[in-house]
A and B are shown apart, each in its own frame.
Chain A
Amino acid sequence: MKNGSIISIKNVTKRFPVGEGEFTALKNINLEFQSGEFAGLVGPSGSGKTTLLNIIGSLDSPTEGEALVLGKSISKLSHKESALLRNKHIGFIFQVYNLLPVYTVYENVEFALLLQNIPKVQRQKMVMEALDWVGLASMADKKPDKLSGGEGQRVAIARAIVKKPVIVIADEPSANLDAENTYAILKTMRELNKNLGTTFLFSTHDEKVMGHLDRIIHLRDGAVEEDEIINVKTLTK
């Protein structure tokens, strides 16, 4: 793991059983991500973007090679350890928001803090702060089914960043959003990236998202086709 690197992907290959054979989703991937990056994995469907993000997020593990996240080898983590890693250091933003339908906006955002046993008063402060960041403090009592797509995704962003994680993984965050909402959430994430120093890793094939990234890693058929660094400042931050 290089100095300043928080994610190190070394010769990672991921295969899935398909019928009696296997499908290789990632082929010998080597990547490094440093703290504070605003990077995206770009490529067509089936190129391995989500698989790689799942491995980085410790939701999956490589078949071969090693993925080190915050110095921890994903393959070697127990269920409990990987849950702890996700709970403390990794935030997720999903394409379909994955908000818990029976909870209010406030409760959805509060969830990760409940798992960390943070005292109520501190929790309240953190949740409202996160909702302020995404501009939804006034909607704290609403249920997810009363929100628009853009609002739902902003709640998901607030939920991901409320615990101030080191890494936020956003899997196709704009796939269900129009241009205006896409711009709004990217702007929010960009500000959080700058203000909190959180590393954002996206998977996307949305050109509107790509325009905001500092680094674009092009994946094709499970392999890195091109690692394009656009904004060097962020990388050296």
Chain B
Amino acid sequence: MKLAFQLAYKNLVGAGLRTWLNVGVLAFSFIIIIFYNGLIDGWNEQAKHDSIAWEYGNGQLLHADYDPFDPFTILDGHGVLENELSKNLAPILLRQASIYPEGRMFSVALKGIDVNQTTLKLPTASLKNSNAKIPAMMGINMADAANLKKGDEVLLRWRDQGGTFDAAKITVVDIFETNVPTVDMGQVWIPIRKMWEMTGLENHTTFYVANENFQPSNISGWKYQSQETLLSDLNEIIAMKKISGSIMYLLLLAIALLAIFDTQVLSVFRRQKEIGTYISLGMTRAQVVGLFTVEGSMYSIFAMILGSIVGIPLFAYLAKIGIGMPAASRDMGVPLAERIFPVFGIQLIVGTILLVVIASTIVSFLPARKIAKMNPVLALKGKLQ
């Protein structure tokens, strides 16, 4: 085997441009596969991190009648949890409401939150420190959509516990930047105590966000959703993104492997005399098949080296500065930062290397099998068709 590697190395280096073209294409595939997966993994990490920090915390305790996917449950999906049980939980009361910036009506989800909470990254201290009668905050996308800025007042209309409409002016005291659209778009955040006053739903909560000290237990009238459950939708989206991305890079890999396959088929045909010479010098057919297979798989080893020379500094740079995402892509409904920092893990790199090396070995072996059936006399004469 050592001999096969020695000879394959010499043959490939000796083949010159033909080798380096194949190596170049394969190295490009390496880089693209690792880059794309690194980007998705980076997005995955960032999206999970931000979702936990801004929305999910360590899990959520939902009122049994509240279904986040059914807006009709908002009206009655709330209740009161004993103080003892609500330790390590940040309460959020959700009501449907409307705001009227510049006379236009915007339906919003009005969310009352404990201004002292520290579980979520939402800047609730702004609400606490404000002297406004009804301080409110919202995400930057919501503010842009409603054309509101810090200090603006806007009319809010909501229903109280009896279903009666009420209205008052709220003051925008903070506009926060977040990558999590589900705490931004169509949402207005106010202090929960103020909301209790406004709705008459004293101490009522739609759901709680748990911090890391919360120990889930069965609480009658409430249902607990773990962080993992809450992230499952996000995981599904990312998995789908990976599958669609993998089609792209499999096509790219297929082109690179096709180039190797094509080279191998041509090699077996064009190098008949060489094959005959190897056999006449005492190589067994199996050794010659092995040599050609190793030559093919060595393309991937060279590509790995070339890919490392180009890829390592490139990936290190990208992992440091991140990749800017276009603003339009934030409308996808999933947490997407302005810059994604790709994550190039060992598992991804080793997995990609193994995939490419194994695939290139297989596509090299397939044409090389012909050698085993070659008549060395005809091969020496170069008369095989």
Contacts and interface: CB of A to CB of B under 8 A. Distances in A.
Contacts of B286: 79-80
Contact of A114 (B3, B274, B279, B380): B3
Interface in B1-32: 3, 6-7, 10-11, 13-15
A85 to B, nearest CB: 8
B59 interface: no
A84 B273 contact: no
A82 B277 CA distance: 14
Contacts, number: 66
For chain B, the bracket of interface size reads 20 to 34
Given A92-B280, A98-B276, A98-B380, A115 B14 contact: no
A115 B15 CA distance: 22
A100 B376 contact: no
A107 B15 CA distance: 16
A96 B276 CA distance: 13
Contacts of A159: 281
A101 B10 CA distance: 10
Contacts of A183: none
B283 interface: yes
A102 B281 contact: no
| B7, B13, B285: residue with the most chain A Cβ atoms closer than 10 Å | B7
A116 to B, nearest CB: 8
A92 B11 contact: no
Contacts of B276: 98
A34 to B, nearest CB: 23
B282 interface: yes
Contacts of B380: 59, 94, 98
A80 B284 contact: yes
A101 B271 CA distance: 11
Contacts of A94: 277, 280, 380
A59 B284 contact: no
A59 B376 contact: yes
A102 B286 CA distance: 22
A86 interface: yes
A57 interface: yes
Given A59-B380, A98-B273, A102-B13, A115 B280 contact: no
B231 interface: no
A61 to B, nearest CB: 10
